[in-house]
Amino acid sequence: MNNQDTYTETEGGGQSEELAVTPEEQSEEFLSPQEEQGELLAAADKEQGGPNDYLRLSRLGKMGYKLKRFFLGIPHWFAQLGRDIWRGLRSFGLRIAACFRDIFMTFKTGSWKTRVSYLVMGFHNLFAKQWLRGLLFLLFEGVFIVYMALWGGAWLSKFGTLGTVATHTEEVLLPELGEYVERQIIGDNSFKILLYGLITIFFIAAFLYTWYLNVKQSRLLDEIERSGRKVQGSKDDLRAVVDKQFHKTLLALPVFGIVMFTILPIVFMILVAFTNYDSMHDGYVNLFTWVGLDNFNSLFAFGSEVSVAFGEILAWTLIWAFFATFSNYFLGMFVAMMINKKGIRVKKVWRTILVMTIAIPQFISLLYVSNLFAHNGIINGLLMKLGWIKSPIPFWENGTLARIMVLVINIWVGIPYLMLITTGILMNIPQDLYESAKIDGANAFQQFCKITLPYMLFVTGPYLLTSFVSNINNFNVIYLLTQGGPINPAWGDFSGAKAGETSILITWLFDITNSAADYKLASVIGIMIFVVVSVLSLVVFYIMPSNKREDDYS
């Protein structure tokens, strides 16, 4: 069984890969990593003496062989990653260059109408009686010029310094009174300069793109005029909005929302990581300014309080995510199998009771559970009444105990969810596999290891990754149970945001934002969370071929 497994896995994986590839993706770039990996593995095979020898290896030898293949793959992933990044950058650069060439050539070869369009957007469209497009282009240009003249230019000019004059009081000589009077002078606001400067940059980018579109449209009109075809009118344009270009209609508003409320704020906060914005520099009375990489340096400065706390919290975050993900996964699957088993009565009752606990908002259940285990909570009260303990167990006061508690309670939270997910998949495993395994004399444990687990891991592999990532950012469970405590004094006190034993990066980030108002540090930590999450995702992406099959059904 085992030996066959390995080979069907590699071969079967490759096969399904090719089956799933759509013509769109069937480019050389897509297939090459598989081929290269294949070569590498073939080399490894040769070292072992070919695949036939594998069957003769002992159990330990087989494991060693698998491990070796796994580790041999690692440099390959990184090489692949590097190549992909390089390829992406190069194609981006080439595209930009092509853009410029395009613009230049169009100007050189285009008609006079096209050349006017370079200055007056939409001129050619209006000339060709494409009223709708032409007016929209012209309107956009007008709005842009007015905005830049009135506000955009001012914001942008201060963007480099983030303001020079703070709001302050000054003694001003009032001539009519003949004496000095204190008066508040409203100065710059670094926060606003950063924000509106950024918005202006986004706007300029949008303008440049629209301008490029305008140039392309003009050239298209040139071509149409030359060939003598009919120009598409406004009526056709309107029809395209619900038909040919329907995707643009659909995406316009949601994407605008995403740009304004996700991308812009995140880019803003990335920029904040390079400033000294915190409670001491509020950007109003005390302006903040660019500081380069200072914040990153202080986070990585060896031995400083912040760096120690960061290291410890990062380590615990990863441990937490690992145990939280896998304990839930296996126990949830186990519960699902128990309920699925033949001969278990009232299956629906068990399922409904477990599912019900998903419905109840976490802030209610977790806050209650947190108090259940509190110093004077019900559990301690009950145990003391029974006489099992003399003094209350410090569930939340002892660091190690608190860590175990959050993991255990997270199992309580996660099992119903995993039970739901796995039940359906477990049902899909072909039953004849189990039958034949049973005839071969496999016991329940062997059946689980050789049939259930490989199948489940194959199907739910991507889910495991997302679940790991969401556990790294599992704010609710940690914050509602312990608020990150018990506080570890050795990790320092960042103007009010204390790092605790159960703090994970995301709860720490929240405390730093909320109680310490140390926005620069929060931004740096946010970026670090992004780095951790994206590196993990990339690694898994390069290990798991199944992740690449996006167009599975289409």
Partner 1 sequence: MSEQENIVEFEEISIEAPERAFDIEAPSAPVSDTPLAEARERTQASVKKTHMSQKTKNAITNTIIHIVLVVMCFVWILPFIGIVLESFRCESTGLAGYIFPQKWGFTNYVRLFKETDFPHWFLNTLIMGVIVAIVQTVFVLMVAYALSRHRFKGRKFLMNLMLVFGMFPGFLTLILLYTWMHDWNMTDLNALWGLILIYTASSGMGYYIAKGFFDTISHSLDEAARVDGATRLQIFYKIIMPLSKPIIIYTILMGFMGPWGDFVMATFMAHNAHAGYNVAAGLQWLLTDSMKNEYYTTFCAGGVVVALPITILFLLLQKYYVAGVTGGAVKG
Binding residues for partner 1 restricted to 270-329, rule: CB under 8 A: none
- Hey, which residues between 394 and 433 contact partner 1 (CB under 8 A)? 412, 416-417, 420-421, 423-427, 431
Cβ(264)–Cβ(202) below 8 Å:
yes
Q: Which residues inside 3-32 make contact with partner 1, applying CB under 8 A? A: 24
Q: Which of 356, 389, 453, 490 binds partner 1 (CB under 8 A)?
A: 356
Provide CB contacts within 8 A for 401, sequence distance 6+.
Answer: 393, 394, 395
* In the complex, minimum distance from the CB of residue 228 to partner 1, in angstroms, rounded to a whole number: 28
Q: What share of residues in the chain are helix, strand, coil (percent, to 5)? A: 75, 5, 20
Size of the site for partner 1 (CB under 8 A): 117
Instruction: Work out how close the CB of 345 gets to partner 1 at its nearest, in angstroms, rounded to a whole number.
Output: 7
Q: Which two tokens stand for residue 313?
A: 């919290």
* b/e map 450-475, b = 16+ CB within 10 Å: bbbeebbeeebeebbbebbbebbbbe
Q: Which residue number, 126 or 528, has a Cβ lying nearer to partner 1?
A: 528
Between CA 2 and CA 518, with CA 466 as vertex, the angle to 5 degrees is 140
| Given 347, 453, 490, 515, the residue binding partner 1 (CB under 8 A) | 347
Integer CA distances (angstroms), 537 to 70, 289, 468, 530, in order: 17, 34, 10, 10
- Cβ closest to partner 1, residue 308 vs residue 429: 429
- Is 40 a binding residue for partner 1 by CB under 8 A? The answer is no
CA angle (266 as vertex; 261, 272 as ends), nearest 5: 130
Q: Which is nearer to partner 1, 177 or 386 (CB)?
A: 386
- Which run of H or E residues covers position 335? helix 305-340
Burial 197-228 (b: 16+ CB within 10 A, else e): bbbbeebeeebeebbeebbebbbbbbeeeeee
Only one of the segments 141-149, 159-167, 301-309, 338-346 lies at the binding site for partner 1 (rule: CB under 8 A); that segment is 338-346
Q: In whole angstroms, how close is the CB of 306 to partner 1 at the nearest point?
A: 18
Q: Which of residues 177-216 bind partner 1 (CB under 8 A)?
A: 191, 195
> Do residues 508 and 529 touch, judged by C-beta distance below 8 A?
no
* Ranges within 156-175 binding partner 1 (CB under 8 A): none
Among 8, 15, 297, 466, binds partner 1 (CB under 8 A): 466
Read off the tokens for 472: 């790294």
Q: What span, in angstroms and rounded, lies between the C-alpha atoms of 219 and 96?
A: 18
Residue 69 or 375 with smaller CB distance to partner 1: 375
Let me know: does 406 contact 413? Beta carbons within 8 Å. Answer: no
Instruction: Give the interface segment with partner 1, choosing from 223-231, 289-297, 349-357, 399-407 (CB under 8 A).
Output: 349-357
Task: Tell me the closest approach of the beta carbon of residue 434 to partner 1, in angstroms.
Answer: 5
Residues in 235-274 at the binding interface with partner 1, rule: CB under 8 A? 239, 242-244, 246-251, 253-255, 257-258, 260-263, 265-266, 268-269
- Nearest approach, Cβ of 72 to partner 1 (angstroms)? 26
> In angstroms, rounded to a whole number, what is the distance separating the alpha carbons of residues 9 and 84?
26
Residue from 56, 285, 475, 515 touching partner 1 (CB under 8 A): that is 475
Rounded CA separation 258/291 (Å): 29
Minimum CB–partner distance for residue 460 and partner 1 (Å)? 6
Distances (CA, A) of 339 to 187, 344, 416: 68, 7, 12
Residue entry with tokens 């739901």:
420
Contact with partner 1 (CB under 8 A) among 163, 485, 526, 545: 526
Cβ contact 176:300 at 8 Å? no
Q: Minimum CB separation from partner 1 for residue 349, in Å?
A: 8
Q: How far is the CB of 535 from partner 1 (least distance, A)?
A: 10
Closer to partner 1 by CB, 467 or 502: give it. Answer: 467
Which of 169/554 has CB closer to partner 1?
A: 554
Positions in 436-455 near partner 1 (CB under 8 A): 437-439
Scanning residues 359 to 398, which ones bind partner 1 (CB under 8 A)? 359-365, 367-369, 371-372, 374, 376-378, 380-382, 384-385
| Min dist. Cβ of residue 497 to partner 1 (A) | 13
Radius of gyration of the chain (CA): 31
